Homo-oligomer: A and B are copies of this chain.
């Protein structure tokens, strides 16, 4: 079986260089181009790349995708900075190239994606649920984007199941003790030296609790998700937003 021909854009960055190594190490993939910001996009066509992995910058990604889609090169995109307008533009390019697929994902860690997915599934079955996220103390935002998004998904699932508000008899307390309120779901942010990125979702019902916890110990945790995206995007025309659509979760 011939290998899938893959290019990495942003190959000198921290994540990009790891992605290039991961493609090289995969038996079914071939790294045919590793572009930095000074390289010309024609390298992609010249190298015969079938899939481009974009790990560049919000300033570059739209130009890169315009070129890729225009030339029928599938793309897996970890670059940030997406909004509705950008997604609409990308969609219109894909309509003009109906056999090309693009995966845009805010998080390539399979563990993080599964944590969100399982939390959504479990939400309707428990009276109580709270989210605890734990990160290194250099993080500027609290709660983390992933924790906020997880809480929103849980809140939406509770609402769809017509669950009442969560029980909470707190009448006296110190400010902040009960965490931040995200659509009725409490989120707690812990910051400790020694940690990287961790999240725990705890559901509580009569006599039992269910906990889903994700521990990210190294940035290499994005690689399996990127490789999964590369393998799947070639047979998934159009725009896919979010890695969860490539996980078969029955």
Residue of B nearest to A210 (CB): B111
Q: Which of A196-249 contact B (CB under 8 A)?
A: 196, 202-224, 228, 247-249
A88 at the interface (CB under 8 A from B): no
| Residue contact A129 to B192, C-beta cutoff 8 Å | yes
Q: Which of A38-72 contact B (CB under 8 A)?
A: none
| Residue contact B206 to A193, C-beta cutoff 8 Å | yes
**Which B residues are in CB contact (< 8 Å) with A90?**
none
Query: What's the dominant secondary structure at chain A's contact region?
Result: mixed
Shortest Cβ distance from A108 into chain B, in angstroms?
A: 11
Q: Which of B115, B139, B174, B181 has a CB less than 8 Å from the CB of A142?
A: B174
A99 at the interface (CB under 8 A from B): no
Shortest Cβ distance from A210 into chain B, in angstroms?
A: 4
Residue of B nearest to A122 (CB): B114
Shortest Cβ distance from A232 into chain B, in angstroms?
A: 13
| Residue contact A217 to B191, C-beta cutoff 8 Å | no
**Which B residues are in CB contact (< 8 Å) with A175?**
176, 180
- A2-10, A28-36, A77-85, A182-190 - interface stretch: A182-190
